[in-house]
Amino acid sequence: METTATILHADLDAFYASVEQLLDPSLRGKPIAVGGGVVLAASYEARAFGVRGGMPGRKARELCPQLIFVGGNFGDYQRLGDAAIKVLDDFTPVVERISIDEAFADVAGCTHLFGSPREIATTIRRRVRAELGLPISIGVARTKHLAKIASQVAKPDGLVVVDPGTELAFLHDLPVGLMWGVGPATKARLAEIGVETIGQLARTHSGALTRLLGPAAGEKLSALSWNRDPRRLETKRRAHSAGAQSALGQKPAVARVIVPTLLHLADRVASRLRAKARPGRTVTVRVRFADLSTVSRSITLDQPISATTTLAEIAGDLVRGALADHPHEKTISLLAISVSHLEESAELQLELPLGLADDKRRPGTRKGLARFGADRAIDKIRERFGKQAVGYGTVALEAARSVPDEFRELAQKEL
């Protein structure tokens, strides 16, 4: 581990909402939310009323009657997010971008050029504000995990540098929910055993954490609570899987809901796989029920796939299997598909016409090749005329989309 704090975590504040306020000055200082049926992002003024991303629009309006909803300017989000990361690139080549609006940077090799890590972070914040008109918070520490926590503490529009000698004193008084990997469910489980701060987590016996969270999560969180994080920055991050999910609210677990939703999700996932020529072997589905309990099912195939209809059919089989194992569950709130074990330009193994029951799902059969050919034709039409120009049947086009695909695509990692 480094002996000095040289890792920066830079995070644009309330990014989507801040961009909207930048584009329309009349919105500045007002509670705004990007979205409509669902809150995609909220300004700090709206967050003061309890409005949060992912919240139904109706509930957000109840919490904040003066809330202003705006449509997303997705192209501007991408443009300004790229520009902010470019400011980091001007100081160091060791930059790991983890989303459209945040990135790590290691400035250990450039302090002789630009000053101390604190001075570099100060300059970055000043440039992003002056050149882009956006607020950005930065945390500086020896480890990635602590730098990310420091940037959260710095919000909004601040800078926090954690000196090596003060790390545990800084870390242990903070709420456990700030930790990387502690979501609402894990936070609730920890609260059941009286763990609400990172210091309390650090003092909890590893066996108790293992029993509560499982061996992998328990060991990881225990190490992070003591600031043991040996991870280095990855300047060329690539996703090891591609996935998509759809929050449904409260819908009956019936075919008229499941089939179009899975086809829409499969379309989003498979088109990404084809665009990068990275078919995958393992298909996983996730089903969330009304009580927020979740089940997953997966299958690993003989050959990697990237055909939309094939992926949708396999996902459908897995979802039906999950529902059959939980016959008492009649309502679903979320469906998700992911494909992993991706391959690099896999060579297609052609198959003899043996008339197998799953011929159309096998990439190397005549029917499998026909499906892939149809997908590629759709891809080309969309490249020229836009994604809404053609789809996979009216049933898919009628699927409910509470969150625009353009918004989801901003969060996708490079395959």
Instruction: Give the pLDDT score at 400.
Output: 46
Q: For 158-307, where are the alpha helices, taking DSSP H only?
A: 167-172, 184-192, 198-202, 206-213, 215-225, 255-275
* Residue 89 placed within a domain: yes
Assess contact for 286 and 335: CB atoms under 8 A. Answer: yes
In this structure, the dihedral spanned by the alpha carbons of residues 57, 60, 64 and 70, taken in order and rounded to 10 degrees, is: -40
Instruction: Give the pLDDT score at 398.
Output: 44
Say if residue 393 is in the same domain as residue 245. Answer: yes
Would you give per-residue pLDDT tens digits along the chain (415 residues)? 556 899 999 999 999 999 999 999 999 999 999 987 788 899 999 999 999 987 888 999 999 999 999 988 888 999 999 999 999 999 999 999 998 999 999 999 999 999 999 999 999 999 999 999 999 999 999 999 999 999 999 999 999 999 999 999 999 999 999 998 888 888 988 999 999 999 999 999 888 898 888 888 899 999 999 999 999 998 876 678 899 888 787 889 999 999 999 999 999 999 999 998 899 999 999 999 988 788 999 999 988 999 999 999 999 999 999 999 999 999 998 899 999 999 876 566 666 565 666 777 777 687 888 888 888 899 899 888 877 778 776 444 444 455 666 666 666 666 5
Instruction: Give the pLDDT score at 356.
Output: 60
Say if residue 272 is in the same domain as residue 135. Answer: no
Instruction: Give the pLDDT score at 396.
Output: 43
Q: For 48-194, where are the alpha helices, taking DSSP H only?
A: 57-63, 74-89, 111-114, 117-132, 144-154, 167-172, 184-192
* Residue 218 placed within a domain: no
Catalytic residue among 102, 219, 329, 343: 102
Say if residue 133 is in the same domain as residue 250. Answer: no
* Residue 112 placed within a domain: no
Say if residue 132 is in the same domain as residue 249. Answer: no
CATH code, 384 = 3.30.1490.100
Residue 101 among known ligand-binding residues? yes
Residue 369 region by backbone torsions, left for phi larger than 0, else alpha for psi between -120 and 50, else beta: alpha
Nearest CA to 30 among 11, 49, 13, 15? 49
Whose tokens are 């972070």? That residue is 121
Q: Which domain holds residue 274?
A: 241-411
Half-sphere exposure of 112 (CA within 13 A, CB side): 1
C-alpha–C-alpha distance, residues 247 and 323, integer Å: 17
Say if residue 137 is in the same domain as residue 255. Answer: no
CATH code, 90 = 3.40.1170.60
Q: Which residues contact 50 (CB under 8 A, 6 or more apart)?
A: 63, 64
Instruction: Give the pLDDT score at 362.
Output: 74
Q: What's the pTM?
A: 0.73
Q: What domain count does the chain have?
A: 2
Active site annotation includes 102 = yes
* Residue 268 placed within a domain: yes
Beta pairing, strands 159-161 & 136-141: parallel
C-alpha separations of 297 from 10, 51, 214, 300 in Å: 36, 33, 19, 11
C-alpha–C-alpha distance, residues 105 and 85, integer Å: 10
* Residue 113 placed within a domain: no
Beta pairing, strands 32-35 & 68-70: parallel
Tokens of 319: 């979802």
CA 413 to centroid of chain Cα atoms: 8
Assess contact for 244 and 238: CB atoms under 8 A. Answer: no
Of the residues 141, 171, 192, the one at which a domain ends: 141
In this structure, which amino acid lies at residue 243?
A: G
Say if residue 245 is in the same domain as residue 135. Answer: no
* Residue 205 placed within a domain: no
Tokens of 31: 């509670």
Say if residue 248 is in the same domain as residue 389. Answer: yes
* Residue 288 placed within a domain: yes
Instruction: Give the pLDDT score at 401.
Output: 54
* Residue 154 placed within a domain: no
